[in-house]
Amino acid sequence: MATTTPTKTQNLVGRRVRRQEDPRLITGTATYVEDIKMPGMLYAVIVRSPHAAARIRGLDTAAAAQAPGVQAVFTGVDVEGVGPVPCAAALPGLRVPKHTILASHRVYYVGHPVVVVVATDRYLARDAAERIEIDYDPLPAVSDPEKALAPGAPPVHPEWPDNVAFTSHTEGGDLKQAFATADLIVKQRILSQRLIPMAMETRGVVAEWRAGEKHLTIYSSTQIPHLMRTQVALMLGIPENHLRVVAPEVGGGFGSKLNVYAEEALMGFIAMRVNKPIKWIESRRENFQVTIHGRGHVDYAELSAKKDGTITGLKIKIIQDQGAYHQLLGPLMPALSVLMMPGIYNFHNVEADIVGVFTNAAPTDAYRGAGRPEATHVIERMVDILAAELKMDPAEIRLKNFPSSDAFPFKTATGLFYDSGNYAAPLRRAMDLLDYSSAREEQREARSQGRYLGIGVSTYGEICAFGPSPATPAGGWESATVRIEPTGRVTILTGASPHGQGQETSFAQLAADALGVGLDDVVVLHGDTSVVQYGIGTFGSRATAVGGTAVYLALQDLRVKCLRYAAHLLGVQPEQVDFEGGVFSSSRIANNISIKEVAQEAHVCRNLPPGLEPGLVATRFFEPANFAFPFGAHLAMVEVDQDTGETKILRYIAVDDCGKVINPLLVDGQVHGGVAQGLGQAMLEEAVYDDYGQLVTGELMSYAIPKAQHVPEIECERTETPSPVNPLGVKGVGEAGTIGCSPALVNAVVDALSPLGIRHVDMPMTPQKVWRLMSERKPA
């Protein structure tokens, strides 16, 4: 695929510009938390509970404290002064267990931190950790959310014996009427299994305390440095402006680093206590056990319709597995699912109930898609089940139920306003790419030979570009400062915190176009609270739509100021100045002046225009008036091995609409990665706890993530419906692939197996599971 080597005069927005970030990532020269080394640095190893539920009867740290190299040992009692791990979800009636940074009397899940050992190197710390003796009194545990709700289940938190963390009820329209007048109602239980986000870089924290300045610096592999600074300062009881949080290179997050964990405050506490820098790097096993998990939904759905396929209403009950504690946004995940449960269909009657359930398991929270994959999976499965019941084609029933493209903004039954859309366009394009009618013909032919060929249709909509502040727990705006340095170089400081999305490139493209500079003239700084003005962070497919817009606005301000400056220097009126290719000129005079010369003048200030201040800095904040709502169609063609239940993906087509595109190469990359993770959920991944609360898929030998060999060629195209919510017209694409993918694959497998009367398969669709379903249905 072609890439562009830009020159200064090119319009870069819209081009496949290679990532500015890649050379350092590919050559292994980027700086991650683990690469930070400081003189006198100590290392921490955390001793964690092997039990899912137990009382701590006794704790003996004496032998560890005496071990070679050990500088300190801390237990729950020592850190009682540190505030709890925060949850920002302010739901009415939410039960919030006190989430201390170390357990003191009781543990609630496998991996619960109990003791931290600090030594001069990580090997000695690890050796000493083996000398910690903890006397546990194991208790019955429950890790399955439906079992946790059953009468007599072991209470996760004794103060709430029903294990209910919260409930909520949402209504829109008149579902009773819709159900009473429906020709049919289809019902299905649908599982969105627990997943492990599995960033390639595990979490890690370095903390450095400067006692004289009373200043703490925390380096953390995080998506939200500013929010973390506020929260950790509160936890530690230090002034926020005495804390600096730095997110260095972050090797993947997918939501798992959209959080404030115990370890940031814990390392800050230790650095202040021992007065030396300290490092903790999460092991892969810890990452499995204690970093948040995603999904964990059981959904009971009912969809009502008319005989002609017109959908009239949806009733949904979500049982959300919260795990043992609430992390930052956990309880909001099923609420996001409810918002998007109607999908992109034109019906207005919805009732939704959520039960959040405590279990003896790792907390669940945002994982790529965060509530929307679950919602999309349910509605896209239900539409297919309805189509099968009515013997309608799954593409046809969707086309019948889309709102027309002139119905936007489209008000949904859950109270959202979809900003813009043309839902039929990507589906029709995807059907053309597949050659849908030939594919159906091929399927008929295969079936006549007894082969199980299936075509899966998924048309998703998602809510992203988070978002209007009143609809978010900690502000939905974003910030940007753009500076033109005296030499004409451009520095962009964004409040977003990119960690793989490529905004060092896409924001530089915006700057290059606005100011006529080269890509290499631009540096994008992010992720350091001492360098960058306050911002919210990167998650929810928001960084370009919200953060990019703030950058765009600041660039426009600077461009205007430069133009006024140039006009003054050229001796003409601003409206008489043209700006192209980085050069200001006027048809009235022969002289011209480059933006680099203007930059120099604006800093030496020998000829300051009246009414202008020196310097070339602009700071803008952008508060979006609405979310943006990308959409698209994913089609999958699969063949299921009738002997073994193995699924082969023959074609995968993704036609996405994420509004205007700044860099198609970045968008393709996001779709590819998203589809791979959606495929992981559909085919391979599941965090399985046993009846004792042990995570039995607790390592990469047993938890299957998609590898290159598992991912088919993804045929990627786009339609382009600009968003009216921001001046760039962009919507967001970070999560689209994950959201569109899993229903496409499951619908394809179910379609393949439909001759056996199978109408649903839960994820992951492992060969064994599919084989058992086939074996039950096959005539003996």
Partner 1 sequence: MIAQQFDYSAPESVSEALSLLSSQKGSRLLAGGQSLIPMMKLRLSTPARLIDLGRIAELHYIAEVNGSVRIGAMSTHNQLETSETLHRKCPLLAEAAGRIGDVQVRNLGTIGGSLSHADPAADYPAALLAVQAQVRLVRQGGERTVSIGNFLVDAFTTALEPGEILYEVIVPVDQTGLSSAYLKFQQPASGFAVVGVAAQVAVQGGNFSVARVGITGVGSASYRATAVEKALEGRPATTATIEAASRLATQGVEALSDLYAAADYRAHAACIYTRRALGAALSRAK
Contact region for partner 1 (CB under 8 A) — 157-165, 175-183, 532-540, 699-707? 699-707
Strands 42-48, 278-281: pairing is parallel
Phi/psi class of residue 68: alpha, beta or left (left: φ > 0; alpha: ψ in -120 to 50)? beta
CB of 190 to partner 1, least distance (A): 22
C-alpha 342/C-alpha 409 separation (Å) is 15
Q: Which is nearer to partner 1, 201 or 601 (CB)?
A: 201
Sign of the CA dihedral running 399, 401, 407, 413: negative
703 to 722, contacts with partner 1 by CB under 8 A?
A: 703-705, 707, 709-710
Tokens linked to 512: 């290059």
Q: Which is nearer to partner 1, 607 or 644 (CB)?
A: 644
40 to 69, contacts with partner 1 by CB under 8 A?
A: 45
Residue 609: name the closest of 587, 588, 593 by CA.
593
By CB under 8 A, tell whether 684 contacts partner 1. Answer: yes
Site string for partner 1, 299-328 (x = CB under 8 A): ------------------------------
By CB under 8 A, tell whether 672 contacts partner 1. Answer: no
Residue 532: name the closest of 579, 584, 497, 573 by CA.
497
Q: Which is nearer to partner 1, 523 or 704 (CB)?
A: 704
Q: Which is nearer to partner 1, 471 or 704 (CB)?
A: 704
CB of 201 to partner 1, least distance (A): 14
Quick check: 713 and 638 in contact, CB under 8 A?
no
Contact region for partner 1 (CB under 8 A) — 311-319, 539-547, 665-673, 694-702? 694-702
CA dihedral 597, 600, 604, 609 (to 10 degrees): 50
CB of 696 to partner 1, least distance (A): 6
Looking at the chain, the number of H-run helices and the number of E-run strands are: 19, 28
CB of 180 to partner 1, least distance (A): 45
Contact region for partner 1 (CB under 8 A) — 106-114, 157-165, 373-381, 639-647? 639-647
Site string for partner 1, 111-150 (x = CB under 8 A): -----------xx--xx-----------------------
CB of 772 to partner 1, least distance (A): 7
Q: Which is nearer to partner 1, 123 or 160 (CB)?
A: 123
CB of 704 to partner 1, least distance (A): 4
Q: Which of 90, 702, 755, 777 binds partner 1 (CB under 8 A)?
A: 702
By CB under 8 A, tell whether 181 contacts partner 1. Answer: no
282 to 301, contacts with partner 1 by CB under 8 A?
A: 283-285
CB of 129 to partner 1, least distance (A): 9
C-alpha 419/C-alpha 736 separation (Å) is 16
By CB under 8 A, tell whether 573 contacts partner 1. Answer: no
By CB under 8 A, tell whether 648 contacts partner 1. Answer: no
C-alpha 472/C-alpha 81 separation (Å) is 29
Q: Which of 41, 63, 608, 688 binds partner 1 (CB under 8 A)?
A: 688
C-alpha 101/C-alpha 112 separation (Å) is 9
Tokens linked to 442: 């091929």
- Those residues with Cβ within 8 angstroms of residue 578's Cβ, 6 or more apart along the chain or in another chain: 584, 585, 586, 587
Q: Which of 700, 755, 776, 777 binds partner 1 (CB under 8 A)?
A: 700
What φ, ψ does residue 354 adopt, rounded to 5°?
-120, 135
Q: Which is nearer to partner 1, 573 or 702 (CB)?
A: 702
Q: What is the 3-state secondary structure (H, E, C) of 266-326?
A: HHHHHHHHHCCCEEEECCHHHHHHHCCEECCEEEEEEEEECCCCCEEEEEEEEEEEEECCC
C-alpha 697/C-alpha 689 separation (Å) is 8
Residue 547: name the closest of 608, 585, 611, 501 by CA.
501
Please report the beta strands in 500-598, taking only residues with DSSP state E, as ranges in sequence order. 522-525, 578-580, 583-585, 592-594
Contact region for partner 1 (CB under 8 A) — 78-86, 445-453, 659-667, 696-704? 696-704
Q: Which is nearer to partner 1, 201 or 478 (CB)?
A: 201
Size of the site for partner 1 (CB under 8 A): 29
Could you count the other beta carbons within 10 Å of the beta carbon of residue 536?
26
711 to 770, contacts with partner 1 by CB under 8 A?
A: 766-768
By CB under 8 A, tell whether 26 contacts partner 1. Answer: no
**Amino acid at residue number 273:** R
Distance of CA 723 to the CA centre of its chain: 21
Q: Which of 120, 405, 594, 697 binds partner 1 (CB under 8 A)?
A: 697
By CB under 8 A, tell whether 176 contacts partner 1. Answer: no
- Chain positions contacting partner 1, by CB under 8 A: 45, 122-123, 126-127, 283-285, 643-644, 646, 684, 688, 696-697, 700-705, 707, 709-710, 766-768, 771-772
